[in-house]
Structure 1
Amino acid sequence: MVFVVASQLAARRTAHQMAQRRNMGSGPKPEWTGVDKVVRTYLPEDWQLAAAVLSGYTVLGTVGSMMSGGKKSEEPVAATVAVTTSAGVPAIDSPEFEKYVE
């Protein structure tokens, strides 16, 4: 009985000790060179760089649309409506068919 309890306790301890403890760490930050190094001094995180790029494109688009003056709206042209006396499609022989097709 004592050996059974001791073996079960040992099995539980080894199973518990076998699990690796993780602290959710990450590797070292990359070494930036060139233009990336200059940019990363002001914007070290990826989300900051992405926000700066999106903001830049938004500003360029806004300024470009303001410089172009936008499209001038044309006056709507009244559409002509063909008046038919019957509710269905006129016969192909009739002169009303040409008006119906247009």
Structure 2
Amino acid sequence: MNSAVTIFSKDYSELSKLQSQKKVNYGLIEDEVNGKKYYGIGISIEEDGFRESDFLENLSTSKTDILNIVTFLYENSILIDTWKEITSELLGCYCSDP
């Protein structure tokens, strides 16, 4: 059984034709498989009354590594359309375990 918790939320203002108002949530997913804890990432966006969510589960047994990636996604304003590619690159060069 997994659990998810929002770590960061970022609000974007409407800026005429530059960007619409939205809220992006970055979260940590915790799961237990065969007695071992694994961590993943969830991201959601709320815009124009709609909500879109996406997640990757069981990425690493290192909570610290995954929290660092969640922080990176938040601090660099990574949105839902590109987050998986960026996370994949970060996992390949950063995480201490699969």
Q: Does TM, normalized by the shorter one, top 0.5?
A: no
Q: Please state which structure has a larger fraction of its residues in helix.
A: 1
From the CA coordinates, give the structure whose radius of gyration is larger. 1
The structure whose RCO (Cα within 8 Å, separation 6+) is larger is 2
